Amino acid sequence: MKRKKIRIGLLGVGNVGCGVLEILENNQALIAERTGKFLVVTHAVVRNLEKARSLVSSDVVLTTDAMSVLQNPEVDVIVEVMGGEYPAFDYICEALRQGKPVVTANKEVLSKHKATFFALAKENRTDIYFEATVCGGIPLIRTMKVGFAANRINAFYGILNGTTNFILTKLEEPGSSFDAVVKEAQALGFAEADPSMDLSGLDSAYKLTILGAVAFKANVQLDDVYYEGITALESSDVAYAKELGYTIKLLGIGREVRPGKMTFKVHPTLIPEDHPLAHVRDEFNAVFIVGNAVGESMLSGRGAGGAPTGSAVVSDLMDIAFDEHPLGNKRNLESLGADIAIVPFSDTVSQFYLRLHAVDTHGALARISSVLAEHQIGISKIMQKDIVDNEAEIVLVTHLAVESTMAAAIAMLESEPAVGGISAKIRVGLDEV
């Protein structure tokens, strides 16, 4: 029996594009065996022809003209791994208009334009696949859509960014410097070209909107997400958190607070050391999911880098190969009709870790606890560290408090003569109410 060939137009031959080419070549026989099809990159669109020539085989047509590939009837599927919003948005739209299935690894463009893409795909009886946009090689999107299809997902808590997890892990080593560790993550190929996207929490926020759409079938936008990165953290916070029995992780949280009421937020979080998320180290990602039938599950794996992300892209290509009629199945998001309300971040609840400087006089500690008490905020743990320049460093963990109440307490503490300054405020734990 003659096997059918699926002809792929590859947009971008960077880190992920090379990962895709390598997997298609190394696992060619296995892929053909499993799908009954040959998956072949026939065209690649690049910015620099000379630079790309050594990266792709001589059978591949290399061009800088994307439209000639998108509109070519001899290209069956488009893989977009160029990143960024434009021109990726225009290219994906054109491919869908041409009725070609699209596989993308581009979280930014998908996060911003998912509703347009899903509608366009439906209109043109095709589909868009995006396993690679969130958590690289972890089969997360498909697991949420298919594996957990019988569940109502109540919440998910994700370490969605490899670079920041790598940095936070390295900061646990005494003497490590933030800047040196960022450079290491860049050299290893995890960090974005502009690492501020990782450090600010924006990368996680894009991924959170995509997971929110998958888990809750809602058109979650970046404006619905509160996000805060790791730039304000100091290595002393990592060390004090350890002393208190926690590990700091940058978490992306999507949660149904009350029926139909959602919250989406990204911020550093102190995770109790006995929680599985606390053990996810280096550039690894993980998502802890709570479903109303399955209960708690965690998926973990490599979330960044050419090969893990390439693995997700090729798995989507194989999904297309398995099913030549994408609209014949309902696995992908064909609509985002769920009507949800966003709970303002200021109304959400968590415990807090505070590191503050108390003036070294009698009654300073009492004043701090009474300001918190005036706001009905209890203290769960407290420790006093070194006295430097007549100021004592106090580290404490509160009981549950509402964000806006904590902000008011912080404002009052900052105006207290007994308080020299507040150096850190980090949320603690996963168990909100």
List interacting residues with ligand HSE (CB under 6 A): 136, 161-163, 190-192, 198, 203, 303-304
Is 265 noted as a catalytic residue in this protein?
no
107, 170, 207, 249: the active-site residue: 207
In the bound state with ligand HSE, the residue whose beta carbon lies nearer, of 300 and 351, is 300
In the bound state with ligand HSE, the residue whose beta carbon lies nearer, of 108 and 403, is 108
Q: Which amino acid is at 1?
A: M
C-alpha span between 192 and 46 (Å, rounded): 19
Output the smallest distance, CB 19 to ligand HSE, in A. Answer: 12
C-alpha span between 166 and 150 (Å, rounded): 34
Peptide bond into 259 cis (omega under 30): no
C-alpha span between 268 and 279 (Å, rounded): 15
In the bound state with ligand HSE, the residue whose beta carbon lies nearer, of 101 and 229, is 229
In the bound state with ligand HSE, the residue whose beta carbon lies nearer, of 132 and 244, is 132
Match 């509109």 to its residue by tokens: 71
Match 């894009």 to its residue by tokens: 206
> Could you tell me how far CA 382 lies from the centroid of its own chain?
32
C-alpha span between 353 and 381 (Å, rounded): 9
Q: Which pair of tokens denotes residue 396?
A: 């404490």
Output the smallest distance, CB 304 to ligand HSE, in A. Answer: 4
Task: Indicate the helix (H) or strand (E) that contains 86.
Answer: none
Output the smallest distance, CB 326 to ligand HSE, in A. Answer: 25
Residue 177 burial (C-beta neighbours within 10 Å; 0-12, 13-18, 19+): exposed
C-alpha span between 345 and 348 (Å, rounded): 5
Beta bridge partners of 157: 253, 288
Output the smallest distance, CB 18 to ligand HSE, in A. Answer: 15
Output the smallest distance, CB 30 to ligand HSE, in A. Answer: 25
In the bound state with ligand HSE, the residue whose beta carbon lies nearer, of 108 and 319, is 108
Query: What letter does residue 145 receive in the DSSP assignment?
Result: I
C-alpha span between 289 and 298 (Å, rounded): 6
Q: Which pair of tokens denotes residue 2?
A: 């003659």
Task: Indicate the helix (H) or strand (E) that contains 423.
Answer: strand 419-428
Output the smallest distance, CB 278 to ligand HSE, in A. Answer: 19
Residue 61 burial (C-beta neighbours within 10 Å; 0-12, 13-18, 19+): middle
In the bound state with ligand HSE, the residue whose beta carbon lies nearer, of 285 and 350, is 285
Output the smallest distance, CB 228 to ligand HSE, in A. Answer: 17
In the bound state with ligand HSE, the residue whose beta carbon lies nearer, of 136 and 301, is 136
Output the smallest distance, CB 309 to ligand HSE, in A. Answer: 7
Query: Which residues 6+ apart lie within 8 Å of 17 measured at CB?
Result: 10, 44, 55, 79, 81, 82
Task: Indicate the helix (H) or strand (E) that contains 25.
Answer: helix 15-26
In the bound state with ligand HSE, the residue whose beta carbon lies nearer, of 35 and 106, is 106
- In DSSP notation, 146-205 reads IITTTS-EEEEEEE--HHHHHHHHHTTSTT--HHHHHHHHHHTT-S-SSTHHHHTSHHHH
Catalytic machinery residues: 207
